[in-house]
Amino acid sequence: MNALVAVYRLHAPAADVRERAEAIALEQTVELPRAAVTDPFVEREILGRVRDVRPEPGGTHLAEIAYPLACFGDDPLLLLGVLFGNTSLQPDVELVDLELPAGAARVFGGPRHGIAGIRELAGVRDRALTAAALKPMGLSPEALADFAATFARAGIDLVKDDQGLVDQETCRFEARVRAVTRALDRVADETGRRPVYTPYLAGSPRELPARIELLARLGIRAVMVSPMLAGVGLLADLAREGRLVILAHPSWGGAGRVAPELLLGRLFRLLGADASIFPHAGGRFAWREETCRAIADRLREPWHGLAPALPVPAGGMTLDRIPELLRFYGRDVMLLVGGSLYLAEDRLEERARAFVRAVTEASEEVSP
Amino acid sequence: MNALVAVYRLHAPAADVRERAEAIALEQTVELPRAAVTDPFVEREILGRVRDVRPEPGGTHLAEIAYPLACFGDDPLLLLGVLFGNTSLQPDVELVDLELPAGAARVFGGPRHGIAGIRELAGVRDRALTAAALKPMGLSPEALADFAATFARAGIDLVKDDQGLVDQETCRFEARVRAVTRALDRVADETGRRPVYTPYLAGSPRELPARIELLARLGIRAVMVSPMLAGVGLLADLAREGRLVILAHPSWGGAGRVAPELLLGRLFRLLGADASIFPHAGGRFAWREETCRAIADRLREPWHGLAPALPVPAGGMTLDRIPELLRFYGRDVMLLVGGSLYLAEDRLEERARAFVRAVTEASEEVSP
């Protein structure tokens, strides 16, 4: 197979689905009526081809369309554009899956650090990992740095910025990452332990280079990015550069008609996310367990030799759910607990310690 | 009002909608339980507030939530993040509208050229404008430049790259923009007329600066961008720099749960798009006329003194629909006809001339 195969769900009458699928194959590649495609190279190496259209229970159909690799080459924007660019505007079509040849997967490269790299960076061999977020927006760099120090003393493995923190007047990017770094240095001097600080890296193409350079100067090794807001090119750039561990954030990722396991699982992994955050069922988000299972599978399953990426379920997890979460995901997971820690107010360190302890204990109950 | 007000449609039981709205107000700002928000500045200047929840016909509800301006300042990623970041992951919530104070609108600035600037650049005073696309991907720079020359001789006002053209092996960005520029120079020498060439500017933060510099060196004055793939920061950067006329492309913009008139109309205009492409009803896309009307309204209506942006209906328009389209949109519109021109094959110039003539004639039939 020398093509990418995308799978779409069609909400259309059975009599129309073949024609709808043919229309998608044209739309996503040449954007021309079939009769206007006359160049032999374009016909052979560019034109999308319908491979299969089959009914599903419930009356929808699945259409498989093959796109030649020349359509997108090594370009992440073209990859997403070919998969769903204009067709995202069709209310009756969902993008549900993709498969591509191993060679094309290697072109994008997948996670450069992956689960093993995150474990090494965090110094955690085989238990599940813990993460906490610095929030809310509106606090000063120093206030957030105090939270970071508290989480560090409690033994949290990874401390990330909230996605509400970019470069506001109340909390400039540079001031924040410097303050948090200093605070974590101080705790490391006391305790010998240092969580992986993961700033939120966002911004426009003009703003990003200085922020990325600052991270390098401070020796910061991990970042969180929102590919659907900052652009998928940022994710791919950072992965190709290879220095930083990348935690993908799902902001604007619930496109409604893209399967979450495809976008947050397969596509973010393909483009280089080392870990991917998503809401776990039963928290603040009405997601089903099977969706979460599918995301975790797409992130971790063997796939063309790409490194596995770490699932980071989040979205309203509480400490009492940790044993259940570990049974569900196993140990190769990072649990991100946010709000329920902050409810502890001046007992934040104690609550964070309880979180770390619960994850450590529950890890022993589940197979590696 | 010193806040942005966003309007969400809630698909939830009436008994739950107030609580759902309160949850969105927290999610989109502090991402914390209400009880964990204790800092007075955060309570006053950051926390989202539910202003109204009202039933709609059909059983859904509209919730208005006010977000203090300090949440996003002048940052386009934060603006979109606060509007719909995590809540995009909620299957029962749609983002349908926003309003913000004039001061905040001026911070983002809207179109820097707008309809007037595009008319000046194209040298077209009061009729509707015409646009054609260079396609398909897979053709060489020279083949696409030949199409550009043909469209130029036919008198088309704006010639844009297809969104399938970025920087593939078959057609490198630099080779393409140079070849098209040369071809248009030659036609301008012959005829004295030159369409506005509008390359597709896409890429990762690492790739973009060289591409933008090349455009400046070649004296290119307009670009097309896909904000939902390249990142909304690129749109805002280019608008703030102010040199280029910006045509927004809706790729991945059909997020399913964001109202098209909000994203492609109001938000893209706010961030600086001078023109916005969207599918007109009755073409290849199953969009309703009222959606197209709303997009055109959001682009052109008076709004905080921001320049009006040009609607660019597209998506399978044919020449026989031009009078109907002009009656629908009036003269402040750019008609983008793609595939139906290319079907003419070796009579492409003739067909493009017929397109220009039809738009000129139909423009006279409608009031300015």
Per the structure, the count of domains in chain B is: 2
User: In the numeric block, which tokens belong to residue A214?
Assistant: 């600052």
Residues 6+ apart with CB under 8 A from A253: A226, A227, A228, A260, A263, A264, B88, B89
Whether chain B has a CB inside 8 Å of the CB on A45: the answer is yes
Cα–Cα dist A179/A326, whole Å:
33
Does B170 lie in the same domain as B91? no
Q: Å from A250 to nearest chain B CA?
A: 7
Whether chain A has a CB inside 8 Å of the CB on B282: the answer is no
For residue A173, the Cα-to-chain-centroid distance in whole angstroms is 22
Question: Given this model, what pLDDT does residue A255 score?
Answer: 54
> pLDDT digits over A71-95, tens only?
999 999 999 999 998 888 888 898 8
> pLDDT digits over A24-47, tens only?
999 999 988 899 899 999 999 999
Question: So what's the ipTM on this one?
Answer: 0.88
- CATH classification of the domain holding A92: 3.30.70.150
Does B71 lie in the same domain as B130? no
Note down the domain range covering A254: 114-365
Does A192 lie in the same domain as A85? no
Contact A30 B78 (CB under 8 A): no
Instruction: Mark which of A76, A108, A140 sits at the end of a domain.
Output: A108
Does A59 lie in the same domain as A152? no
Question: Given this model, what pLDDT does residue A86 score?
Answer: 86
Does B293 lie in the same domain as B214? yes
Cα–Cα dist B225/B239, whole Å:
11
> pLDDT digits over A243-296, tens only?
999 998 988 876 567 788 988 899 889 988 999 988 898 887 778 899 999 999
Which residue of A229, A246, A258 to mutate against B (max B Cβ within 10 Å)?
A229
Cα–Cα dist A79/A102, whole Å:
15
Does B283 lie in the same domain as B191? yes
Pairing assessment for the beta strands A158-161 and A129-134 based on DSSP bridges:
parallel
Which residue of A204, A268, A271, A276 to mutate against B (max B Cβ within 10 Å)?
A204
Does B197 lie in the same domain as B89? no
E runs forming strands in B141-281 = 158-161, 196-198, 222-225, 245-248, 275-279
Q: Is B175 exposed, middle or buried (0-12, 13-18, 19+ CB in 10 A)?
A: middle
Q: Please give chain B's pLDDT, 368 residues, in tens.
A: 589 999 999 999 999 999 999 999 999 999 888 998 999 999 999 999 999 999 999 999 999 999 999 999 999 999 999 999 888 888 889 888 898 999 998 899 989 999 999 999 999 998 899 999 999 999 999 999 999 999 999 999 999 999 999 999 989 999 999 999 999 999 999 999 999 999 999 999 999 999 999 999 999 999 999 998 999 999 999 999 999 999 989 888 765 677 889 888 998 899 889 999 888 988 877 788 999 999 999 999 999 899 999 999 988 788 899 999 999 999 999 999 877 888 888 898 999 999 999 999 999 988 76
Cα–Cα dist B310/B283, whole Å:
19
Instruction: Mark which of B73, B107, B141 sits at the end of a domain.
Output: B107
Does B148 lie in the same domain as B67? no
Does B133 lie in the same domain as B86? no
Does B12 lie in the same domain as B120? no
Give the one of B236, B252, B255 whose C-beta lies nearest to A85's C-beta.
B252
> pLDDT digits over A164-206, tens only?
999 999 899 999 999 999 999 999 999 999 999 999 999 999 9
| pTM, two decimal places | 0.91
3-state DSSP helix/strand/coil percent for chain A, to nearest 5?
Answer: 45, 20, 35
Nearest to A88 by CA among B315, B246, B233: B315
Cα–Cα dist A98/A207, whole Å:
33
Q: Which residues of A touch B73 (CB under 8 A)?
A: 168-169
- A235 pLDDT more than 90: yes
- CATH classification of the domain holding A189: 3.20.20.110
Instruction: Mark which of B107, B133, B165 sits at the end of a domain.
Output: B107
Does B355 lie in the same domain as B206? yes
Does A134 lie in the same domain as A63? no
How is B212-239 classified by DSSP, letter by letter? HHHHHHTT--EEEE-HHHH-HHHHHHHH
Q: Å from A345 to nearest chain B CA?
A: 7
Peptide bond into A205 cis (omega under 30): no
The backbone torsions φ and ψ at residue A301, rounded to the nearest 5 degrees and listed phi first, read: -70, 155
Give the one of B29, B208, B286 whose C-beta lies nearest to A92's C-beta.
B286
